[in-house]
Amino acid sequence: MKTLEKLILLLSLMTLSFLIVGCTTLAEKQTEPRGSPPVITRSFASEELSHNEAWKIYLEANDPDGDMRKIVAVSSRGRRGSRVKYVGIKKGDGAKLFGYLDFMIWSGIGTERNEWGELTLTLFIRDKGGNTSNRVVFPLALSPGVKQGPPPSPFETAQLRKLGSTWVNLALRPPSGRDGKD
């Protein structure tokens, strides 16, 4: 019996060792980026916007491997947490992006007459190889009646096209806790 118990223990240890080594190797392979990361070369967004208006985020980006997959948009408002949204990149745009995103901010019913200070949007791009681009950060102040100005060069061209759109419900509340009615 002792020999059988030793054999079972030995086989169990070998199986466990194999599983640990195999899982570690698999995990390492899944987390190691492959290829070159994308690079956001230019970006622009207005710093002030009226409530419930589409915020245009202008981007130019390149990826030497041509495998850009999605734009990641992280929106936050102070210490109230953040929201993550993804915009898929069309097949033909994997090597070069040049255009704009419509980013809709829904601030809630009855809130359009109030101001809330700054929001922040952080954008970066992920590619199929697991790489991420540099991050670009855009502050935004929501103010009644403000219109976005035209973008700077090179984004003012007629060749500019829409890359996609997303939205976030920030469930904004007036700073004093009022219900938004003056």
Write out pLDDT tens, residues 143-158.
778 888 889 999 988 7
* Euclidean distance between CA atoms 96 and 145, whole angstroms: 35
pLDDT at 180: 41
CA 2 to chain centre: 59
| Domain range 39-169, CATH class | mainly beta
**Residue 72 CB coordination number (10 Å):** 17
Q: First CA to last CA across the chain, in angstroms?
A: 86
Q: What is the pTM of this model?
A: 0.72
Of 3 and 176, the one with more pLDDT: 3
Domain boundaries, the chain: 1-32, 39-169
H or E element in which residue 8 lies: helix 2-31
pLDDT at 21: 53
pLDDT of 22 higher than 90: no
Question: For the purposes of burial, counting CB atoms within 10 Å of the CB of 142, is it exposed (0-12), middle (13-18) or buried (19 or more)?
Answer: buried
Average of per-residue pLDDT across 155-163: 87
Of 118 and 44, the one with more pLDDT: 44
pLDDT at 53: 78
* Euclidean distance between CA atoms 166 and 87, whole angstroms: 7
CA distances from 38 to 83, 133, 136 (A): 23, 5, 13
**How many percent of the chain have pLDDT more than 70?**
70
How confident is residue 27, by pLDDT bands cut at 50, 70 and 90? very low
* Euclidean distance between CA atoms 86 and 35, whole angstroms: 22
pLDDT at 178: 46
* Euclidean distance between CA atoms 171 and 128, whole angstroms: 33
Going by C-alpha positions, the residue among 90, 24, 71 that lies closest to residue 166 is: 71
How confident is residue 17, by pLDDT bands cut at 50, 70 and 90? low
pLDDT of 24 higher than 70: no
